Amino acid sequence: MQFNLVELWHSMGLPVKFVAGLLVFLSILTIYIFIERQIIFGKAKKRSKILAPKIEELLRAGKNKEALNIATKKENKRSHLARVSAAGIKEFLEGEEAGIGFDQQVETAGRGTDRASIMFAQELRRGLGVMATIATSAPFIGLFGTILGIINAFQGIAMTGSGGLGAVISGIAEALIATAFGIGVAVLALWCYNFLNEKVEVFGAEMANTGSEVVDFFARRREAE
C-alpha cells in the first residue's frame, strides 16, 4: 500500500474523514477572516490618510460644522479617524447648542471620541474571536481524530486476528495525520490572530491620538479667542 494523501484518505474511516473535513473548513474560515479583515483595515487606513489632513485644516480654521459634514459622509464611515473626529465634533457642537460651559463641552467631546474609539475597535475585532477559538480548539479536534484513528487501528487488529504492523499501520497513519493537521490549523489561526490583533492595537492608538487632538483643537481655539 502506498501511503500518499489520496490512499490515506480512502483508508480513513468515516468519523476521521469528518474530523479532517472539519479541520479543512476551519482552515478555510481562518484564511477568509484574515483576508476580509485585511481588506477592511486597508480601506480604513486609505480613507483616513485622505481625510485626516482635511478635517485638521477645518478644525484649525474653526470650521467645526464643515469638518463634521465631511467626517459624517457615508463614504467616510469606514474611516476610523473620521468616525472618532465626527463623534468629538458632534458632542462639542451639541454642548454648545445646549449652552453648557466650555469646559463641559470639551469633556463631553473627549467622552464622545472615547466611545467612538471603543465601538470602532469592536468592529475591527469582528471575526478575531472566531479565529482565537479555532487556534485553541483545532489541536483538540485533531486529537479527537487521533483517538478515532487508533480505534480504527484496533478494529483492524480485531478483524485480522493479528497484531502485526500491516493490521494497524493504516489506523496509526490516519491518527498521526489528524494530529498534525489539527496543530497546523491551530498555528495558522494563531499567527493570523496575532497579526490582526497587533493591527487593531495600532488602530486603537491612532484613534486615541486623534481624539486627543480634536479636543486640543477646541481648547486651543478658545484660548486664541
pLDDT digits (tens, 9 = 90+) for 112-169: 999 999 999 999 999 999 999 999 999 999 888 888 777 777 776 666 655 555 556 6
Q: Highest mean pLDDT: which of 54-68, 71-85, 179-193?
A: 179-193
Mean pLDDT, to the nearest integer, of 47-63? 86
Note the pLDDT tens digit of each residue in 157-207: 666 655 555 556 666 766 778 888 899 999 999 999 999 999 999 999 999
DSSP secondary structure of the chain? ---SHHHHHHHS-HHHHHHHHHHHHHHHHHHHHHHHHHHHHHHHHHHHHHHHHHHHHHHHTT-HHHHHHHHTSGGGTT-HHHHHHHHHHHHHHHHHHHT--HHHHHHHHHHHHHHHHHHHHHHHTTTHHHHHHHHHHHHHHHHHHHHHHHHHHHHHHHHHT--SHHHHHHHHHHHHHHHHHHHHHHHHHHHHHHHHHHHHHHHHHHHHHHHHHHHHHHHHHHHH-
What is the pTM assigned to this prediction?
0.82
Q: Per-domain residue ranges for the chain?
A: 5-220
